[in-house]
Amino acid sequence: MKKLSVIFLLFFLLSCSHINLKPQKDESFKVGLLLEGSAFDQGWNSQAYSSLILMEKEMNATIKYVENLNTESKIYQETETLAKEGYDLIYGNGRAFEASFNKVAPSYLQSHFVFFNGKPKGKNVTSINFVPESIGYFSGFTAGLMTKKHSIGLIPALDSMKEIPAFIVGAKEQNASNKVIVKVVGDWGNKEKAQQYARELIKDGVDILVPMGDAYCIDVIMEAKKHNDVYVIGFVSDQSYISKSTVITSTQQDLRKIYINTAEQFKSNSLASGVLKVDFKEGAQSLSSFGIMVTPDIKKKIETRLLNYIHGKEPLPDEVFGEWTNDTKK
């Protein structure tokens, strides 16, 4: 009987230990995430969402996300809701959150608001600003080296994107005969329009397509995949998994690193307000691995130019910061 009691006691203690080993959420650290589109777009929003899940897992944060906020009124409403619910760190995954964050922040000083690529106002608002010109330039640089027909199709979401003039400069820098045809989608999520543009550009004879709208990159790549002589440079994340025989490389923005770093800074009371600029040097932007279609000579030329930029030996040309004109603007 005594032996059975000891066994039962050991079983009870082990059971209790198993229960206690499960980490509890830190109710004092609440993180909210607001998204314009789907959390599962396999691009920009997916990176943000996976970062939030990582905070829950590794930082024991209490988390909440709201997706498909496609109007200013929805954004404002959900921003204020998170602030009222006491969320400490509130992320808006893009510039669309700039106006609402700046407006709501002064009334909720206990919360810190973080968005991207804009102008923050207030002591509890931060904007993480990527350097778009470098992404555009190195994407164009690569396209300019890879095109055999000297005809490149650029499909940006908006005509105001600073990547566009930089892309054109980078492409034409490799060969003055390179033609860049730009077709602007008009928003970040119109997959059908982007795919139609891809078809039109291929019909017009381009052999390199560059979608600059994360929601429709997959659609453009799948269209290019139908043709053996058309290649794509991905945008925001490594998209070689879609078609290794089609994707040359992808310009990457490491949102996970930014989200985790800012969360850690917030917890240590070191998250600065204002604009925080990030680029290749900080590891926030990069080029993914090159596809098999890229020759060693071209790969070396791209990598050498990129390393020179990172180490400050060769800055971007002044022209990348100008207005853009191109061969065809539609």
pLDDT of residue 316 exceeding 80, the answer is yes
- Alpha-carbon separation of residue 259 from 49, 70, 178, 315 (angstroms): 10, 22, 38, 27
Helices (H) and strands (E) in the chain, counts: 10, 13
pLDDT tens per residue, range 116-129: 999 999 999 999 99
Locate tokens 């908006």: which residue?
Answer: 158
Confidence of residue 5 (pLDDT cuts 50, 70, 90): very low
The answer to whether 294 touches 247, Cβ cutoff 8 Å, is no
Identify the pLDDT of residue 305.
98
Identify the pLDDT of residue 27.
62
Confidence of residue 328 (pLDDT cuts 50, 70, 90): low
pLDDT of residue 291 exceeding 70, the answer is yes
Confidence of residue 25 (pLDDT cuts 50, 70, 90): low
Q: For the chain, where are the alpha helices, taking DSSP H only?
A: 2-21, 44-58, 72-84, 98-104, 132-146, 163-174, 191-203, 217-225, 255-267, 296-310
The domains located in the chain, with CATH, are 26-130 (3.40.50.2300), 132-252+286-329 (3.40.50.2300)
Identify the pLDDT of residue 24.
52
Q: How far apart are CA 243 and CA 232, in angstroms?
A: 10
DSSP β-ladder status, 247-253 and 285-287? antiparallel
pLDDT tens per residue, range 180-203: 999 999 988 899 999 999 999 999
From 282, 246, 304, select the one nearest 131 (Cα to Cα).
282
From 85, 119, 96, select the one nearest 34 (Cα to Cα).
96
Q: Which two tokens stand for residue 51?
A: 């970062």
pLDDT of residue 144 exceeding 90, the answer is yes
pLDDT tens per residue, range 297-311: 999 999 999 999 999
Q: What single-letter DSSP state applies at residue 231?
A: E
Which comes out higher in pLDDT, residue 15 or 154? Answer: 154
Locate tokens 């070689």: which residue?
Answer: 240
pLDDT of residue 11 exceeding 50, the answer is no
Classify residue 48 as exposed, middle or buried by CB count within 10 Å of its CB (0-12, 13-18, 19+).
Answer: buried
pLDDT tens per residue, range 48-57: 999 999 999 9
Give the mean pLDDT of 130-144.
97
Report CA torsion sign: 251, 256, 261, 262.
positive
